[in-house]
Amino acid sequence: MKRKILNQIKNDYLCRVLKDVSSYMKNVYDNVLETIGNTPMVKLNRVTKEIPASVYAKLEFQNPGQSIKDRIAVHIVENAEQRGLLNANSVIVETTSGNTGFAVAMVCIIKGYKCILAVSDKTKPEKISYLKALGAKVYVCPTSVEPEDPRSYYEVAKRIARETPNSVYINQYFNELNTDAHYHSTGPEIWEQTEGKITHLFACTGTGGTISGCAKFLKERNPNIKIIGVDAEGSILKGYFDTGKIRKEDIRPYQIEGIGKNLIPSALLFDKIDTFVRVNDENSAYATREIALKEAIMGGYTSGAVTQALLQYANTHTFTENDLVVLIYPDHGSRYITKVYSDHWMEEQGFVQNCAENQDKEFRTEYVYDK
C-alpha cells in the first residue's frame, strides 16, 4: 500500500514536471488556432524603391489558414462561445470568397462545430475543394444577382442560419466583431512592430474589417497616421467615400477577389479612413507578379493591389525618408496559381506585360522531349 502511494506521488510529480517542460518549449502549441496572429513584417527593397519611405509588408498569409481571416474567425466564434450561444451541435454559417471560409472551417474543426458556407460562383473550383477538404458544406451562388436576391450568397447564408437550430451567422460584412478582431490584434501588432513609427497604412477593403480595426487602434495612438483604403475598379466603396452616394454606375465585374463591394458594409468605418485609391485588375496583377519576382514574396492578388495602390498614391503625394509605410498582404499566392500567376490566364485577360512572351528568352520554360 505504502509503495503504491509512493509510486502515485512519483507519477504525479513526473506529470507535473513534464507539463511544466511543455509550457517552456519554444514555438510549440496545443492546436493550430494558437498560431494565429503575430505575423512578420518584411521590408520591400525593390518593388517600391522609387519611394523614399521605408515600406513594409505585413505577411498575413503566415497565419495557419494562410490569410488574415483567421483572426476574425477565431475572434467571432470565441465571442459566441463566451456569450453561451454555441453547443456541441452548433453550426457556423458564413458567406465567403474563400479566405473566411477556410478560417471558419479550420476553427470549426478544432472546436468541434459544423461549418456551412455560401460562396460566389467567381470562386475557383480548387478553392471549393479546399473548403470541402476542411469538412465544410458549400453552397455556390450567382454573383450576377442583386444582394437582396434570394439566390445571392448573402441571402442564402441568412436563410440557412435562420433555418438551422443552434447556428451562428458570422456575417463578416455587418458584424462589428470583425472590426474588433483587428482592433485587438492586427492594429496593436503593427504599432508594436513599428515601435509606433508608422506614418501610413494601406489596406484593401472588402468587408472593411481590417482597415477599420487597425485604423481605430492606430489613430487612437497617433491621429496623424494616414490610413489609405484600397478599392477595385468596378466597386462602389471609393465612390461612396468620395460622394456619400451609392453610384450604381461604378458597378461592373472585376477579377480581384476579396476587395471592393456592390454594397456598403457596416464593418467599414469610413470616418477612420483618410482616402481611397482605386486599382484595376491589370496593374494589380502585374504588381502581384513583380512582388514574387523581385522580393520573393508569393502574395495573393490583393497583395499586388495594395502595392499598386501605394505606387499610384506616390504619384500625387510626397513621401520622405522618415515615413514608414505598412502594406497589409492579406493572403498567399498559392491560391492564385491558376489565376494571376498563370501566363495562360494573364493572356486570356489581355494582360501581356510580364507574360511568357515578354520574358527574357533565357528564362522561358523549355520542354525537353525524349527523341
Ligand X SMILES: Cc1ncc(COP(=O)(O)O)c(C=O)c1O
Q: Which stretch binds ligand X (CB under 6 A): 12-20, 109-117, 198-206, 274-282?
A: 198-206
**Residue 99 interacts with ligand X (CB under 6 A): yes or no:** yes
Q: CA torsion angle for 162, 163, 169, 173 (degrees, to 10)?
A: -60
**Distance of closest approach, residue 301 Cβ to ligand X, in angstroms:** 7
**Residue 65 interacts with ligand X (CB under 6 A): yes or no:** no
60 DSSP 8-state letter: G
- 110-142 in b/e form (b: 16+ CB < 10 A) is ebebbbbbbbbebbeeebbebbeebebebbebe
**Distance of closest approach, residue 205 Cβ to ligand X, in angstroms:** 5
Rounded Cα–Cα distance for residues 113 and 340 (Å)? 34
- Whose Cβ is closer to ligand X: residue 239's or residue 258's? 258
Q: Which stretch binds ligand X (CB under 6 A): 128-136, 202-210, 219-227, 357-365?
A: 202-210
**Residue 331 interacts with ligand X (CB under 6 A): yes or no:** yes
Q: Which stretch binds ligand X (CB under 6 A): 82-90, 126-134, 207-215, 361-369?
A: 207-215
* Angle at alpha carbon of residue 144, lines to 142 and 149, rounded to 5°: 70
Rounded Cα–Cα distance for residues 121 and 104 (Å)? 19
- Whose Cβ is closer to ligand X: residue 64's or residue 258's? 258
Which residues are known to be catalytic? Answer: 69
Binding ligand X (rule: CB under 6 A), the pick from 209, 234, 239, 304 is 209
The residue among 146, 127, 144 whose CA lies nearest residue 69 is: 127
Q: What are phi and psi of 39, to 5 degrees?
A: -80, 150
- Whose Cβ is closer to ligand X: residue 91's or residue 299's? 299
**Distance of closest approach, residue 179 Cβ to ligand X, in angstroms:** 8
- Whose Cβ is closer to ligand X: residue 37's or residue 206's? 206
Residue 105: count of CB within 10 angstroms of its CB: 28
Q: Which stretch binds ligand X (CB under 6 A): 30-38, 121-129, 203-211, 307-315?
A: 203-211
Within positions 134 to 193, which residues make up the interface with ligand X, using CB under 6 A? none
Binding ligand X (rule: CB under 6 A), the pick from 64, 65, 101, 208 is 208
**Distance of closest approach, residue 319 Cβ to ligand X, in angstroms:** 23
Q: Which residue is nearest to ligand X (CB)?
A: 258
Q: Which stretch binds ligand X (CB under 6 A): 3-11, 120-128, 200-208, 336-344?
A: 200-208
**Residue 97 interacts with ligand X (CB under 6 A): yes or no:** yes
- Whose Cβ is closer to ligand X: residue 238's or residue 319's? 238
Within positions 296 to 315, which residues make up the interface with ligand X, using CB under 6 A? 300, 302
Binding ligand X (rule: CB under 6 A), the pick from 37, 64, 187, 330 is 330
Rounded Cα–Cα distance for residues 111 and 149 (Å)? 33
Output the DSSP codes for 120-152. Answer: ETTS-HHHHHHHHHTT-EEEEE-SSS-TTSTTS
Starting from the edge strand earliest in sequence, which strands make up the sheet with 200-204, in order?
Answer: 41-43, 54-59, 324-329, 200-204, 226-232, 275-279
Q: Greatest CA span in the chain, whole angstroms?
A: 85
Rounded Cα–Cα distance for residues 49 and 65 (Å)? 31
- Whose Cβ is closer to ligand X: residue 187's or residue 300's? 300
* Neighbour-count burial of 355, counting CB atoms closer than 10 A to its CB (0-12 exposed, 13-18 middle, 19+ buried): middle
- Whose Cβ is closer to ligand X: residue 290's or residue 330's? 330
| Size of site (CB under 6 A) for ligand X | 16
**Distance of closest approach, residue 335 Cβ to ligand X, in angstroms:** 8
Give the chain's end-to-end CA distance (angstroms, integer): 81
**Residue 64 interacts with ligand X (CB under 6 A): yes or no:** no
Instruction: Count, in order, helices (H) and strands (E) of the chain.
Output: 12, 10
Within positions 243 to 272, which residues make up the interface with ligand X, using CB under 6 A? 258-259
Lookup result for grid cell 515601435: 195
Binding site for ligand X (CB under 6 A): 97, 99, 204-211, 258-259, 300, 302, 330-331
